[in-house]
Amino acid sequence: MSNSGDISRRKLLGSGALVTAGLALPINVSAEDEKTRPEKKASPICLGLASYTFRNFPRAQVIEFMKQLKVLELNAKDTKDHLPMNPEEESRAVAEYNSAGIKLHAAGAIYFPKDEDNDIRAKFEYCKRAGIRVIVAGDPVPGTLPRIEKFVKEYDIRIAIHNHGPEDKMFASPLDVLKAVRGMDPRIGCCIDVGHTVRAGTDVFQAIREVGTRLFNVHMKDLTSFESKDSQVAVGEGKMPLREIFEALISTKYKGFVDLEYEIQPDNPMPGVISSFAYMRGVLAGMAG
């Protein structure tokens, strides 16, 4: 995997320009300056957050964190009280997110251990109630996929199977997912976790290209070693070729979200989360010229 054209991440992170671009704090400009300012195209990459990042914090705190981050797109998980499976509690959660201007674009990871209609339907109903259109599925047993496909057709909700790296005996790589779903309904596809993908020895650019229109969600993280799960760092501090990943997504006309999943420092994640979003926004700003 090439890092060509990649500038020093640590050097870039240390620059005030990146932090300014990344956090996008409002500034006062004159009407004349506004007229002469060159118009910038909106980035085709949409950034979101996986709520698992804040798994040790209750929903109210997650909402406050997201406001501080200026991130209003959430991939919610049934952890703490982020998006409970209980219908009444779920309804309260959705109402609180809506009130804060936060949109739920995906849920997961959701697991499908049983090849049973009632169990699978309950998960689809859970997402339907919240208005969620993408289920990030964790390790569904391949034998359950035909039954899951039936519910995908009934509910018109997409399934994005999450790869979990070399420890995952079924779906280590997105290419393993692709083999399992090839020939099935086009609404059954992948959530590419870039960290687990590189640890599985898969070229992440190849995976993005081959999955193509079956890519429904991306989990973003960074590693200092592509062989070590424990080497995760804030995005921009490791080896992940972020710009090239964004370019690959743009080249395939990816329409979903790139969700930060920051799995380290669960009791104090905000410093790493802030720098991760600053770096990602800075890269996108640089790509936009």
The domain locations on the chain are 43-288
What sign has the CA pseudo-torsion 75, 79, 84, 89?
negative
CB atoms within 10 A of CB 17: 11
**187 band by pLDDT with thresholds 50, 70 and 90:** very high
Average pLDDT of the chain? 89
- Report the half-sphere exposure of 47 (CA within 13 A, side-chain side): 27
Pairing of strands 232-233, 222-223: antiparallel
- Homologous superfamily of 43-288 in CATH? Divalent-metal-dependent TIM barrel enzymes (3.20.20.150)
pTM of the model: 0.87
Task: Give the tokens for residue 121.
Answer: 């339907």
pLDDT tens per residue across span 197-252: 999 999 999 999 999 999 999 999 999 999 999 999 999 999 999 999 999 999 99
